[in-house]
Chains A and B, each alone.
Chain A
Amino acid sequence: MKNLLLKGLMHRPLTEAAPTDPGLETLGESLRNETRRALGRSLALRMVDAGSCNACELEIQATGNPYYDMDRFGLHFVASPRHADVLLVTGPVTRNMAIALSRTYESMPNPKWVVAAGDCAVDGGCFAGSYAVLGGVHKVLPVDVNIPGCPPTPEDLIKGLLTLMARAGTRR
């Protein structure tokens, strides 16, 4: 353990610069001011899997690994919807999960935002048309941002959420 800790102290962090996108840096700047105005310093995320295949969850988990370290942008996951500003939803919204998803949303305080992550959450993806799915988060909740991908990469997810932060800042 000593060696690993020492290595951690001596080496530069693995964490990479924020994903670069044309306009994202300026977005980052403006975003800092906007979100602070709206929400203080951060957005609390609550994640609900509404029937995904679990690949989206793995990529959402990966946003927390040392390479991406999403917390540094002020985006962090919370355990209860009561503490959340943003509901991050994956999966095509199965009929069996629809009630639990709506109830989670209803438990969140205002103001609140919804992000649909992954092709399934956007429009049902390859499961659209089945008797068992509703076909996308927008069928149940008002969606603010869609992040497509099967699954979206950690970078896609961070970019999508940063976009939301910018919007969240201006909407209030």
Chain B
Amino acid sequence: MPEILELITTDAARLRSAPVEHHKITKHLWEQAAGDTARGMLTLLSLWATRGAVHMALMARPNAPDEHTRVGVVSLENRRKSFPSVGRLHPPAQRLERSITDLFGLSAEGATDARPWLDHGAWEIVNPLGKATARHTPQAAYEFLPVIGEGLHQVPVGPVHAGIIEPGHFRFTGQGETVVRLEERLGYTHKGTDSLMHGASIERGAKLAQRTSGDSSVAYGWAYAQAIEAALGHAAPKRAQSLRAIMAELERLANHLNDVGAICNDAAFAMMLAQCSILRERVMRAAHNVFGHRFMRDCIVPGGVSVDLNTDGRAALEALVNDIRLGFEPLVHLYDNNASILARTAGAGILRSDLAHSFGAGGYVGRASGRNFDTRRDLPYGPYAKLVFTVPTRSEGDVNARIWVRIEEIQQSLGLLSQLLKSLPDGDIFAPLPKPKEKREGLGLVEGFRGDVLVWVGLDARGHINRCHMRDPSWFQWPLLEAVIEDNIIADFPLCNKSFNCSYSGVDL
């Protein structure tokens, strides 16, 4: 009997160029895979369902210097209405499983938490992606997990928040000022994207993908394009790949600048937000001037990109990089030399390294707690293998560390942009996609500003989307926020929350 590890064999080059193999495995092996993720031998990248099967994307990290990071997809076909729970052994899978149950009507055998997640009882149908039926009985009221102890009180917050942010519900249980437990309830922005993807053309799919989490439009556009291109065994031209990377680094820059300012603002250091938002606005305007859209939406299309960069545009971006470099340095100094802000950020909201690893937390959340992973380096795509950059990590795991990872990533992105602008290859920006002629499946994995964005796509023989599964990095970060806030004071929640800056829309879909 093969070990699960032997099935996880796809390296970066193959992942980006060919349809992903999905290994049909037995129930026994499925349970073994769940156990391997729980033991930390494999990282769970995602868990999703299609009609008649459930799938896990898994990643194996190298054990020796000559080994490479590998990924693979294992699938369990099931004609019954259930599958063995992964979340029972490996908690990061729990919310993904609850979503599968809501959307497909498949239950997770032995799951410790069988409450609905995305289905709030407001849809007219149940199991919209499975055998959809009209809702006959109203859903029971949602039960939050019990918290037992003396002198406890609860603070319900949301879904409508005080600021200009996305909706979600936070249920705090406090003892005095200290948070004993936080429980999140999300799903408010569930738009049914998966159902809209079913039967959609590749072009429409690209539009939907780029509206999954607006701040990561480029990352989603690229991951989706990768999945489609891999499924069709098609390569986008080199120039298009470099332009995609330029867009991706601009997006990272804009978001990190925004976050550094906004986190400080949540500790009442408003000057930092004002200064950072100036720099961010310059990035957004440059994106608009050069690529025609502030979020560079719909600029990445499967097969290439839809806008080219001319000489003027190149000069404008070079000027921007210089401008941000000069403008950001004094802000780093301002942050680093201000005892009153550091008193709030240092030591607040500590994420333990073991949790970051077991959840496979991507981006600054993982890297600030010592999880040294970056898709651009470990599963390289586009031009990244040829570029020089480092992946900043920290071990403290507090708000301060998450700020510093962002600061250093801003500096890295500026360096990457300079390199990309200097070495931009000539040639086409688009290569038309071939027709599939048969069912195809592809996997895309891109480092967005929050972490690794995964897109798995199944195409039918006509080249329409049968199923598209998109997994935002926030799936594995939101649950960690619950752990991080424990024993902090409730007034530090905005600070901790902003330092995570998870996407609501990205996980609600």
Give A contacts to B, CB under 8 Å: 1, 3-4, 14, 47-62, 64-67, 77, 79-81, 91-92, 94-100, 104, 125-127, 129-133, 150-151, 153
Contact = CB atoms under 8 A, between A and B. Distances in A.
Contacts of A64: 277
A56 B208 CA distance: 15
Contact of A53 (B122, B128, B214): B214
Contacts of A55: 211, 214-215, 217, 295, 297
A2 B165 CA distance: 32
Nearest to B159: A100
A27 B453 CA distance: 45
A126 B298 CA distance: 13
A67 B312 CA distance: 24
A48 B330 contact: no
A77 B120 CA distance: 29
Contacts of A95: 120, 122-124
7 contacts: A4-B331, A49-B165, A52-B505, A57-B166, A66-B281, A100-B160, A131-B124
A21 B502 CA distance: 37
Interface of B: 118, 120, 122-125, 128, 132, 159-160, 162-167, 187-193, 195-196, 204, 207-208, 211-215, 217, 258, 271, 274-275, 277-278, 280-281, 284, 288, 294-295, 297, 330-331, 334, 337-338, 503-505, 508
Contacts of A60: 164
Nearest to A45: B164
A127 B166 contact: no
A110 to B, nearest CB: 20
Given A54-B505, A80-B162, A127-B196, A4 B189 contact: no
Contacts of A133: 191-192
Contact of B191 (A1, A77, A92, A98): A92
B137 to A, nearest CB: 17
Contacts of B284: 62
Contacts of A99: 122
Given A55-B295, A58-B215, A67-B281, A131 B195 contact: yes
B215 to A, nearest CB: 6
Given A100-B188, A127-B196, A133-B191, 17 more contacts: A47-B164, A49-B166, A51-B508, A57-B165, A58-B214, A58-B215, A62-B281, A66-B274, A67-B278, A94-B191, A95-B122, A96-B122, A97-B159, A99-B122, A104-B160, A132-B191, A150-B297
